[in-house]
Structure 1
Amino acid sequence: MHIGIALPQYGTHARAEAVAPFARDAEAAGFDSLWVGDRSLTPVEPSDLYPGHTPEHPYPAEYKTFLDPLVVLTVAATATTRVRLGTSTLNAPWYPPLLLARSLTSLDQVSGGRLDAGLGIGWLRDEYTAVNADFGKRGARLEEILDILEGIWAQEVFGHKGEHWEIPRSYVGLRPAQPAGPPLYLGGFSPAAMARVGRRAAGWVGVSLPAQAQAGLWGIARRAAEDAGRDPDALRRQIRHNPRPGATAEDIAAVLREVRDTGAESCFVDLQQCVREPEEALELGGAVLERVRRG
């Protein structure tokens, strides 16, 4: 199983000067991938609670400071040569798909073809309000975004007319480094989201769950792939684990071993809610990596 780590991006870790050295050191330590997330807003009176949170603490306090995910990945791309670079997840319906395609294609070029684009639809209605996007149609918007990204990466002349966007037929001279474009992974936990993974994606950007729960969700994706005439064995899982403060290296390694036992191809740890400093995250992450690789 490939093992990754989240880049310093939010909370006390959101320090621009830390990104490049962290990325270099993580690659040197043997991590296989580096990851970012996507938050745009932390409302004073939020419309929705973050899963597992309460009205008194509606979302992780660390989310109040958040560096732009694609800027952070670009810095990491220029500081490394080997590791894959992933988004888990980029909230695609916030972005005009033509500009999203340009950004992802440019980042794939800058990284030499190392980008894995994990896309999601988010959970907070306020973030959609702030960018003038329809929260109620976020699934349909994502489907159309996938059509546009796939079309732009496959065609040198591309046009589109759909429910949400219209793009005049145009020349597409900017090509990704990966011939078919960056692999597109999708997040989500609902049956509809997992079916979309099977129908449309390279795989799932999920989170660590009990084995039985993960098997149930993954089974939906595999069946949807079969129904769509796709090879379910070609789907891959990129699993995120968010340890809480106080978790030890052995605690975290035990979770990653459980993820590995499910057959997932990749798991990464986000330690930004577990320790306060990027240096601590790298030290703890290195200890986790050693334990998992040791068995």
Structure 2
Amino acid sequence: MNDFLFWWQNLPAQMNPVIFSLGGFAVRWYGTMYIIAFTVVYLLTLYRLKTEKKPFDRQFAGDALTWAMVGVVLGGRLGYILFYGLDGFFADPLGTLIPWTTSSSGGCSFAGITGMSYHGGVIGVVLAMWFFSRSQKKGFFETFDLFIPSLPLGYTFGRLGNFINGELYGRVTDAAVGMYFPMAPTVELRHPSQLYEAFFEGILLFLVLWLLRKKSPYPGFLSGLYLFGYGFVRFFIEFFREPDAHLGFVFLNFSMGQVLCFVMMIAGAAIMLLRANGAGSSPGRK
């Protein structure tokens, strides 16, 4: 038991965020997890198209996910700058937006995307799906609900990528479940909050939405439930997650993530309420 506990608590130091390198280009677990996540969402969506009566085809699903990928990257990056990194943006606007660095010798190298915001990614995907559904003359909520049940399972892989990177670690704890994270400012046991999120915001929320996918009473129900459910779970997990060092607590004893999750819960509840009233006033709509 002591051997397992030692292995568990020191696991983050044993993990290499780089899978392999080709010359100066490194293939990292974090980016690979994004690819796996979108693949999982795509395959589960195709399963829904095959087994459920949906007014969409395979090409529509693929095109929509392509738009969603762009929305995730742009929204996630811009959201991070807006919610967490405005000071860095004002200090170096071009360097913050463009992931390339130049050396004194005139060389140029890829510096990587150094910060992504989940909530910014959500906003980016919502905008991307809105424009895409309009371009295809399809209902926005019908389109969004098509992907929502599988989305949390894909999100699970993103949090596993954070865990392998050793980032977004939790607060200090005395519990045996704690781990030593090399990137943390102190050598103390910390909650593996990335794994908490992977399970509760990912696997658990996926099971709820997947089981309810055929029982949705109106378009937008699954989307609203996802927003509220994710915000609710993440709000409480934030009590175990270390707040961003440069922000700390932004409102009373709440982190920026909790403030954004509260807004997310309100948005989810509002969507379900408004869509339910709209469906009730329109008997002809399914």
TM-score, with length taken from structure 2: 0.27
- Please identify the structure whose Cα radius of gyration is greater: 2
Q: Which has the higher helix share?
A: 2
Q: Which has the higher strand share?
A: 1
TM-score, with length taken from structure 1: 0.26
